[in-house]
Structure formats: C-alpha cells, structure tokens
Amino acid sequence: MSPNSTSLTVKAQNGSPYQLNHEQTLKASKALLTHIKSSEKEKRKVADKKSLIKDDADSEENEDSSSEPIWLLLTTKKHLVDQKRLKPSKIALPHPLNTSETSTICLITADPQRTYKDLVDSPAFPTALSKRITKVVGVKKIQKKWTQYEAQRKLFAEHDIFLADDRIITRLPQLLGKTFYGNTKKRPIPVSIQAAPARTEEKKIAKAKGSGSKDPGEPKVVAAAIEKAMQCAILNLNSSTHTPIIVGYAHWSAEKLTENVEAVAEVLVEKYVPKKWRGVKAFHVKGAATAALPIWLADEMWVDEADVIGEEQLKSIEEAKVSKKRKGRALEGGAVEGLSKEKKQKLLESNDDKLDEEIKARKEKLKLQKLEAMMDEDADSAIPKASKKSKKSKAVAV
C-alpha cells in the first residue's frame, strides 16, 4: 500500500471499533458525481440535447427529485431479516430528499376517505401543504378503480410523491403491484395520520376493540408527520445481504452527499445490522448506471470464529456430498430396482464400501442376464423358419 493511500477499514479510538472514513467517503462521492456529470456531457454531445444535470451550483436547490438518484449499498455478512418486511422504515437525513415545493402528493388512507379529505381541507391544516396534496384516496377506492395496469400507470404518472397510512401500507403491494413496487422511485412512504392514543399518568389507555381506530389526528400534527416523512430516507428490508437506500441526487454537492451517507450508515449499523459493525461486510456508493465505489470494507469475512470452516471440516463436508450423490445415482440408475421400501432405506443407510459391493454384484448379475438373453436369441435364429410367399409369387405359380 502506498503512503498516500487511504484504508477502507478504519478503527475508531473510542466507542465503536469501526467507523466510516470521512476522507474516503468524500473522495468516493466526488469521483461518483464527477463521473455522472461527465457521462451526461458525453450523452449531450452525441444526442445534442441539454444536460439533465446542471453544472451551475446556484440552480442546485431548484432541481427536483427527477435528477439521478445516488444509492448507498450496504452488504452484510448475514441477512438483516428472515422475511421480507412490507412496511418500510424511515431514516432521518441532514439534507432531505424531497425539497421541491411544487411536487404533487397522493395520500392513500384507511377508510373512510372522506374523513381525511376533510382533514386536509381543514382551515387548521397548512395551506401550502394542502395545495400540494392533490388526491386523497381510500383503500376501497383503490380496489375499485386502480387494480388494472393502465389505471395504475396513469395514477403513477399523475403524482410525484405517494404517502400511505401506516395502518394499511402492508396491503398496498398486492393492490398496486409492480407498477409501484417494481422499483423504488415512487413507492408509498408510510406516515401516521391517526389520532395519538390518550395517556394517563404517563401510560397509554388501551382502546376498546373497534373504537377509535379510524379517528384522524390533529391537522397540525398530521401535517408535521407528512413533512417529516417526506424528508426521510426510505429503507426496504428484505431477506438478503444487500440493502440499497437512496441518500441523495446527482446534482448535489459531494459534501451534502457525504453527510447523508454517514448519517444513514450510522443508523443502519446501530439499529438494523446484527452484531453492528462486525456484521457489516462493505459499504458502497453508486449511481443508477454506474459502478459501485467502495467507502468501507471489512477486514474479516465472517461474524464469529465459529463461522470459519477448517480444512478437516471442509473435507468431511465434501465427502458427505459425494456420498449423497453416489447413493442418489444408485437409486436412479436402477441398481436397487425391485427392492422393497425397507431394503431401499437400508441401502441408503449403508456405508460406501458396502454400497460399492452391492452395485458391483448387481452389475455382474445384469451382465450374466444379458449374456443368457443373447445366447437364447442366437439359438432361436438357428432354427429354420418357413418362408412366406408373396401374393405375386403365388399368382405366377398359378
């Protein structure tokens, strides 16, 4: 390693044994953004079109979320969860992702939808946010009007951001399908819009079953929850070792992107990764069509020493695999044809030496049977058979 190179695995002196290297993260962010902009310029030269990514720093804040997203890729040594979670998680960001004041919002609510339409139209609800919420729709309306593919595509194109009541968001993948959940561009963001539970002496009062579950929250409280949800990064947890999450856009500065990357990485490791940093394999940043640039790599590919397999264990595992294959082939190849279920099971449980002997004996027996059959066939062919005269020969004889 050269003296000027930067290590991708940094151990902190205090607190957690590992952490992101700020210099490496900033360096990777700059390289990634520069590459995206240069690629866009090349495309502009070829196609003779205006660039979607503006170089002017003053226009950065006027850009909307249509710019190319930047992803933080978390690779773990083990799966984060055993099953896919349909309800996304939210991570607060120092620099929000949705800052455009002109983006339109579709709010998907629990039924009845009229309750939440009245809430958005309430004088106590902030006017600026109310104007941006152009549609409020309930689950029953979704089931009636937007189950067809073309209708879903139209709804998808009409709005920039989709928010969903966190009580019904797990039902939406089945209702909205691949149109919304085939990618992460406009997946509904969970938001709490119901009334907060009452408290007495710092304890929640349990609600009776079926009562109060559809009560909306206060207009100002719901508006604040919506604003907060739109400013967060959305984390979709799957049964996988790879977890992508959008942390910024290509028109951002490298410093802004770096701050978001570090904030999201800290929350991911501390809250979602088993064994925390010891469970992390790597962190990368990438664009939609770029290579992934590493910002942190683990110096160990395992979590615990028990996960490391020695040479003897590996050899025994390979031998067990070979033994299993040979026994399976013996059954498939007819070596135990005609045997009862008990004898087949006994053969499976036998050792390799005994299995080899049985297979050899069976082959010899089959060879003898084949030889006897050939001898019988030769004997039959030696016996003369009466020839059959054709109709034509009979006619000539007459």
> 3-state DSSP: the chain helix, strand, coil percent, rounded to 5?
45, 15, 40
CA-CA-CA-CA torsion sign (246, 251, 254, 259) = negative
Bridge partner list, 75: 242, 282
Angle at 336 between CA 333 and CA 340, to 5 degrees: 140
Residue 351: pLDDT over 60: no
Q: Give the residue-averaged pLDDT of 317-334.
A: 61
Domain boundaries, the chain: 312-375
Q: What is the pLDDT of residues 157-184, one digit of tens each?
A: 999 999 999 999 999 999 998 889 888 7
**Per-residue confidence band for 102, with pLDDT thresholds at 50, 70 and 90:** confident
Rounded alpha-carbon distances, angstroms, from residue 324 to 320, 327, 337, 360, 363: 6, 5, 18, 18, 20
Predicted local confidence at residue 238, as pLDDT: 85
Q: What is the pLDDT of residues 31-59, one digit of tens each?
A: 999 999 998 888 887 776 555 445 544 44
**Per-residue confidence band for 95, with pLDDT thresholds at 50, 70 and 90:** very high
Q: Give the residue-averaged pLDDT of 222-229.
A: 92
Q: What is the dihedral of CA 271, 275, 278, 283, to 10 degrees?
A: -30
Spatial distance between the Cα atoms of 363 and 386, rounded to a whole number of angstroms: 39
Q: Give the residue-averaged pLDDT of 63-75.
A: 75
Predicted local confidence at residue 61, as pLDDT: 42
**Per-residue confidence band for 347, with pLDDT thresholds at 50, 70 and 90:** low
Helix (H/G/I), strand (E/B), else coil: 247: strand
